[in-house]
Amino acid sequence: MLNKLSRRNARRQAEEYLLFIATMSGTAAIIYSFNSLIFSDAVTRFLTGPSGTASVYLTLMISLFSVVIVIIMGWFVSYMMNFMLRKRAKELSTYMILGVENAQIIKMYLTENSLIGAAALIVGLGLGLLIAEFLGAMLAAPFGVPYVLTSGFSLAAIGLTVFYFGMIYLFAMFRCRRKLRKMQLIMLLHYDRQNEKAHIKKAGTAMLFILIAVLFGVGGFCLFFIKPIGNPLDGYGLDIFLGMIMIIVCLFVFFQGLPAAVHSTLGKNKNWKYRKENLVVYRLLTAKINNMGYLFGWIAVVYTLVLTVFGTALTFNVMMQKTLALEVYDITVLHMDEKYDFTEYDDYFTAQADIKFSYSYTLYTDYKKDFMEIRNQNASSFLERVGSFLEAEIHIFKENQYDTYMKYSDYCILREKLQLDPVAMDDNEFMIHCMPYLRDSFQEYTSGGRGITPKGLVCTGIYTEEFSQYSGYGNGQEYILIIPDQLADLKSVLYSLYAANTAAALPREQVNALPDRFGNLQFLKGSALYSAVRSDDSGYLTMLTDDSGKTDYIGGKMIDGGTGENLTVILPLFYLSLILCMIATVILAVHLLSENQKFYQHYNMISVMGLDQGAVKRVLRRQLLIYFCIPALPALMMGGALIFTVAEGLISKGFHSPVFLNITVPVTKVIMITIVLFIIIYGIYTLVTYTMLKNDIVKKIFR
């Protein structure tokens, strides 16, 4: 009989707490989809770069974040089970009065929640199959790898997801069982009345609390803005930690003083209070927020964390996309000190990949540093401005320490292949192609009549399109000088380059096997830009491991594993922020939905007093909008400021030279996308909550 009752109660709770069940299903889907990445052969193939670490990092990061999420979800399920227990306390006390033993009541209650959890898990696994395909395609996109749809089914991922869900419910049930065992009849009868009480009732004290909250908030942001986020070696860790603590205290203190402040401002404002339906909205809201100070504070803190974490993930994504854009070639092969015939490489890549274009050319030098000194001055100013402890010369490789030249004919061909506008110059002129931050300085230098000696060439144009100049061993180190062909032949050969772009990327295992295919070939880059550097007697760094000149080095977008490693940070951060956002919003919504019977009585009363159906809906919408805005608006302000600080610090210090002319543009983009996505998710839950309340209240009143 009790088993039958458990099944009936589970169905009833699934209807009453549909939003909670849907969120648990969504959580199961997200956990499964991220677990499937760990066991996906396709994902592993295109994430495993030359260093072989990106796939390992992804597995490690997702596993670590999953453990954190299991702990968070265990608390969430425990919280919801306790919340449902509070709402059903009288029902359970009735069973106790009828003689049902406490152990049987515990078993029945835990069985109900187990059935709900199992149903949510089954639905979530089905949804997770679709999300897994989306994630796989999203991961493949930056690598140019065509992603083939599969069933999305992974037995290992299912097993791991079931294990995680089991841990979540075991943790929650253990806490709930311990609480139920201590319950007595008198406690159950009054358990639903044990609400949080407003501790601050005087307006003066409330305003003092709000003032203290403002001071803590300002102090926290001062710690961030005075010393922006940067490399941990810069010594800002303590400032960041203290700043976050102060912001958390700010939010909690603010919501402790908010109820009394609302009473003293809106409650005494008769012009507002008695206008249209304002009195009804005021009474409905104050009755709810009086005993929710701690909850609003906690939710605001979580939302602030969600916005900051998601903004951080987007910042890493912006940095990754910019790094990819700065490298315009998919494949490059470098050969030092002489003109070189790359036919063997071109034949191989043409046979193995769909080549859009390929071209071989040579760069030259005269061992002067006139333009390099200008570059170093600008780079030093940038590094000093962002507070970096590094020097500009550290970011120059030995092979790029001198002014670098390119033939005009090669430059025109490359511009055509890269679909850039054609340019022209005479035999007594030269051009500069550089990163945007150097344009003004080079313009000033050349406008004074100074050109390239000894021929006295005059600068006819400076171009700043992306041209593989950021990371070295490409078309110069952040700049290159374009000179007439006959003059280039008089200079020393620096190195030869083979460059190719493909319609689709080579399979990762084939890329990793290239050094074995060509005995004298090595990867130019490891998993990160400076992972393979070494220094020599010159004092400069180099990524070349062979000084004999007999080794070739392969690089380009397809080779660099940095993109995969960025994704191993971006995806878990997005994973965590999405789960936290869903949890906090569901708790907020369920607290409101659980009062639907009381709201029904209030709205039924005001409908009897003369409010028509349209007016009742309008009051309900206003009540819901204000209720959901109370914790969200402070979080948006705090989160937006934190995202600005984090994004500006990461972007400015994430590059060794200014790759953005105006850093405000990418930072603003990150803030806007984060806020818009948060509002979309938040709006969906708000709309669902409104629909459920409208069906429970308005339709019943006016049926």
Q: What is the mean pLDDT of residues 651-667?
A: 87
pLDDT digit string (tens) for 566-612? 777 788 888 889 888 988 898 888 888 777 777 777 777 777 777 78
Both ends of the chain: CA-CA distance in Å?
36
Helix (H, G, I), strand (E, B) or coil at 496: strand
pLDDT digit string (tens) for 468-487? 998 888 999 899 999 999 99
b/e map of 233-262 (b: 16 or more CB within 10 Å)? ebebeebbeebbebbbbbbbbbbbbbbbbb
Cβ neighbours of residue 569 closer than 8 Å, sequence gap 6 or more: 61, 313, 316
32: tokens are 């499964």
Q: How confident is the model at residue 431 (pLDDT cuts 50, 70, 90)?
A: very high
Strands 355-365 and 492-502 come out as antiparallel
Quick one: pLDDT at residue 225? 67
Q: CA–CA separation, 469 vs 22, rounded Å?
A: 50
Q: DSSP character for 59?
A: H
Q: CA–CA separation, 57 vs 38, rounded Å?
A: 10
3-state secondary structure 365-398: ECCCCHHHHHHHHHHHHHHHHCCCCCCHHHHCEH
pLDDT digit string (tens) for 491-542? 999 999 999 998 877 777 788 788 888 888 988 864 333 444 555 566 678 8
Q: Is the pLDDT of residue 330 over 60?
A: yes
C-alpha distances (whole Å) from 237 to each of 234, 241, 245, 448 are 8, 6, 13, 46
Q: CA–CA separation, 261 vs 290, rounded Å?
A: 11
Lowest mean pLDDT among 115-119, 123-127, 192-196, 572-576: 192-196
Q: How confident is the model at residue 653 (pLDDT cuts 50, 70, 90)?
A: confident
Q: What is the mean pLDDT of residues 246-275?
A: 74
Q: Which of 139-143, 377-381, 411-415, 659-663 has the highest mean pLDDT?
A: 411-415
The pTM of this model reads 0.82
Quick one: pLDDT at residue 432? 96
pLDDT digit string (tens) for 132-155? 877 776 666 655 555 555 655 778
Q: How confident is the model at residue 559 (pLDDT cuts 50, 70, 90)?
A: confident
Quick one: pLDDT at residue 461? 92
Contact of 403 with 423, CB cutoff 8 Å: no
pLDDT digit string (tens) for 55-89? 566 677 777 878 888 888 888 888 887 777 776 66
| Beta partners for residue 501, in sequence order | 357
The alpha carbon torsion through 368, 370, 375, 380 (nearest 10 deg) reads: 100
DSSP codes of every residue in 552-591: EEEESTTT--HHHHHHHHHHHHHHHHHHHHHHHHHHHHHH
Taking the alpha carbons of 96, 97, 101, 102 in that order, is the dihedral positive or negative?
positive
Q: Is the pLDDT of residue 95 over 80?
A: no
Q: Which of 37, 60, 27, 28 shows the shortest CA–CA distance to 133?
A: 37
Quick one: pLDDT at residue 14? 59
Q: How confident is the model at residue 692 (pLDDT cuts 50, 70, 90)?
A: confident
